Amino acid sequence: MSLVNKSAPIFRATAVVDAEKIVQDFSLTQFLGKKEVLFFFYPKDFSLICPTEMLAFQDRIEDFEKRNVALVACSTDSEEVHLAWLNTQNDRGGIWGVEYPLVADFSKTIADSFGILGGNYSHDSKGKLIFEGDCMPLRATFLIDKEGIIRHESVNHFQIARNIDDYLRIIDVWQHSQKSEEICPANWVLGEDTFENSKDGLTDYLSTH
């Protein structure tokens, strides 16, 4: 079930902030009315693909900040593992230099509430609760607006890494749509032509492209 146009699940959890501080009561509600949030899950600290994504997001953090979007990451590792990963040099598989918060979903309740664990809970023949599949997050990404509503979601298999430009473009489309009555066509990027929200506007656009 898609969460788009629904309120983002509310949680309070431990997180590592500013690459060094462990915060016990971290919540996305702190951004309500102030910033949009790109909240993304990744499978596992100290893995192979995840450091490339974490560092790629950090490399573009100024692009998110100038759009007034906060980056927040989450996995089911503990805050101690997050902190160790943040303090490990990049050539050793670490993510030294990452500044945005890392939420510790050790209980897996946050990933479960967003519906992006890599498997499913079920019961065995004796009625015991079990988990079938990979009990860690898929590569899921959610754009949450200032009112706490999810406006975009994407979910990738563990092996499919994200492209940061994709999310910047999605943010641009969303933000442009909120401050303009114009529509952004397919493959639109900031600075390109849009068209009026009408059949005539579409006709005029198509006639020149």
Summarised one tens digit per residue, pLDDT across range 104-147 is 999 999 999 999 999 888 888 888 988 888 889 999 999 999 99
What sign has the CA pseudo-torsion 33, 38, 41, 45? negative
- Between 33-42, 77-86, 198-207, the lowest mean confidence (pLDDT) is in 198-207
146 in Cβ contact with 38 (< 8 Å): no
Q: Could you tell me the residue ranges of all domains in the chain?
A: 13-161, 163-209
Class of the domain covering 13-161? alpha beta
Identify any residues that bridge with 196 across adjacent strands, giving them in sequence order.
182
Residue 104's closest CA among 141, 152, 142, 72?
72
Token readout for 148 is 């706490």
Rounded Cα–Cα distance for residues 126 and 181 (Å): 58
* Amino acid at the residue 99: E
Q: Check if 74 is active-site.
A: no
Whole-prediction pTM: 0.93
User: How many Å from the N-terminal Cα to the C-terminal Cα in the chain?
Assistant: 36
Residue in 50, 74, 135, 184 annotated catalytic: 50
Mean pLDDT of 184-189: 91
